[in-house]
Structure 1
């Protein structure tokens, strides 16, 4: 088995694929020492296993906003008891699962094939929760509608693209104080933990805190 792996690594490295990805033994001037075909396969599978959770979690969080479904809250429970509305939300969740998986696969493929970087790409857990629970709100009870939020996300994507194209995004990342970077990460982590605790009606959630108390988790 070991001999087969070494042989396969050598064959792939000596091919066009090996030279494109700069595998060890490919003869490329900038070949990466230690980068072999089966090593990259194992690393890719490990990365997938570590990030696959986002497919269901992202869909669950974003669908809690209600998506494009219309809530006519006559019972005062944000349409939780409305079977037709909840059926629409379930359809949105299934669509989001498919979309998250497809976009993550495409972005990760492009990152590897074009940039030759071993980085998995997927929606980040944090901003999706902020959008679903603080901006759109649980079942559309927030400040703006789901459609307006998606339009803002679309514009945000173009802004980031322009900033990255001109190198301004890297400059902003360098000038931002490290303490602020760490604080943002810690704050998002605590926010996600708080949402998880509230979803299971933890005593940490007090009545005077305006936050999600119902969830589809």
Structure 2
């Protein structure tokens, strides 16, 4: 049955390999189950957000598994949740009663729009119209971005007043354990140990718990804590809390909020899908991704369901690359990840106890693997291709945004094509994306004035 559903032999994989990959993806994504309630909990019921996030993630990832058959996990997107809570609810809508209901309505409408666009293959056309060189640059840029996230999570890279960022302290056990975890993963992968990334995550977590039991690690509790119970009833405070009345009476403001969610979700998903697909060898000979429309439908369904349950925009997670690095090639990886999101609802204290220093090595290692795509970039060819790919690589980690990296890449590519008298190379879709990014810049300028 699994073979017929996911075509494992065709993709050169096994059930064991896919399950281990799915577990790895989940463990690298599990932090969102702690982070999202913390962020959205400033304006909503935190326990309700936790349940909503787990359920929406599971549903969206199941759609990805069975409809697209790709090893990509989905959950509430970072950045989008912060925009939801701090910019929209505590900023623009601070004077409104229950502002989270308005923000959820905007997310719901965004999801419906994306479902419609998916049927018209709009997002599919975008991803297949991106030049090959830019796709490789996007993949490499995402690699640097997730490595940067991993290093931050483990305090290897920290904020620095003099140079903005700098090296953390070796007296910080989080940093030390993460570096040891990276070495463990690298050694296991070298010896072709199945599930090496997952084993590395669990091994360094166990080492941390041993150190805590000995009194050496005191920064946080690394052991699961069931003392507060499961607290699942909060979902009644977040589910089906849409506010269309306000949306219709403040239509222009509502459209602006919805567009902001729409923009970031669109290009974050495009960038993530390109990067993960390239790393998994899923792109065809022309650099296109088969069944990409189904990928976007999964994203859109997740966003719509998530809004109904009570969480911010659901999107494809770049951490799926960790599962790909562990051998994931089919929807069985995604199905496993979705199952773990369901399990997490009743075993939340266990999953929330996995420390960031244990998952950070996986992100850093996978970042290296994705960065290898830069070897495919042709820097000595067309100047538009070279500069576009370069900006994708450097802007994603430095601007801390996949969407921003794609924006700079596309804008530079189109402008240089025109400047070098090669405007005929720019497809109508790329012109459309160019206009969208110009509109986005105008919106940003307007907001800062």
For the superposition of Structure 1 and Structure 2, which TM-score range results when normalised by the shorter chain? Answer: 0.5 to 0.7
What SS class does the counterpart of residue 114 from structure 1 fall into?
A: helix
- Over 3 Å counting, the alpha-carbon distance change for 1:17 and 1:172 in structure 2 is closer
Q: Kindly tell me the number of residue pairs found equivalent between the two proteins.
A: 142
Aligned to 1:162: 116
Aligned counterparts of 2:115 and 2:80: Cα–Cα separation in 1: 18
- Over 3 Å counting, the alpha-carbon distance change for 1:18 and 1:133 in structure 2 is same
Of 38, 56, 71, which residue of structure 2 is paired with 1:103?
56
Aligned to 1:23: 8
Q: Does 1:147 align with 2:147?
A: no
Aligned to 1:199: none
Aligned to 1:57: 35
**Conserved 8 A contact 1:63-1:93:** yes
Larger Rg: 1
Structure 2 residue runs without a partner (length 5+): 131-266, 268-387, 402-449
Aligned counterparts of 1:143 and 1:135: Cα–Cα separation in 2: 11
Aligned 1:109-188 pairs, distance under 5 A: 109-137=62-90, 141=94, 145-173=99-127, 174=129, 179=391, 183=395, 186-188=398-400
Deviation of 1:180 after TM superposition, in Å, equals 7.3
Deviation of 1:172 after TM superposition, in Å, equals 3.7
RMSD across aligned positions (CA): 2.9
Aligned counterparts of 2:23 and 2:103: Cα–Cα separation in 1: 34
Deviation of 1:188 after TM superposition, in Å, equals 4.5
Aligned to 1:32: 11
Aligned counterparts of 2:8 and 2:55: Cα–Cα separation in 1: 27
Aligned counterparts of 1:96 and 1:146: Cα–Cα separation in 2: 11
Aligned counterparts of 1:169 and 1:181: Cα–Cα separation in 2: 22
Aligned counterparts of 1:20 and 1:122: Cα–Cα separation in 2: 23
TM-score of the aligned structures, taking structure 1 as reference length? 0.57
**Conserved 8 A contact 1:137-1:143:** no
Write out per-residue CA displacement over residues 117-171 of structure 1, whole angstroms, 9 at most, x where no aligned residue: 1111111101110111111117x63789222211111111111111111111233
TM-score of the aligned structures, taking structure 2 as reference length? 0.29
- Higher RCO (CA 8 Å, separation ≥ 6 residues): 2
What SS class does the counterpart of residue 122 from structure 1 fall into?
A: strand
Structure 1 residue runs without a partner (length 5+): 1-15, 25-30, 68-91, 190-217
Aligned counterparts of 1:51 and 1:42: Cα–Cα separation in 2: 14
Higher share in helix: 2
Aligned counterparts of 1:143 and 1:42: Cα–Cα separation in 2: 46
Runs of 4+ in structure 1 deviating by more than 4 angstroms, as ranges, are 175-186
**Conserved 8 A contact 1:104-1:122:** yes
What SS class does the counterpart of residue 32 from structure 1 fall into?
A: coil
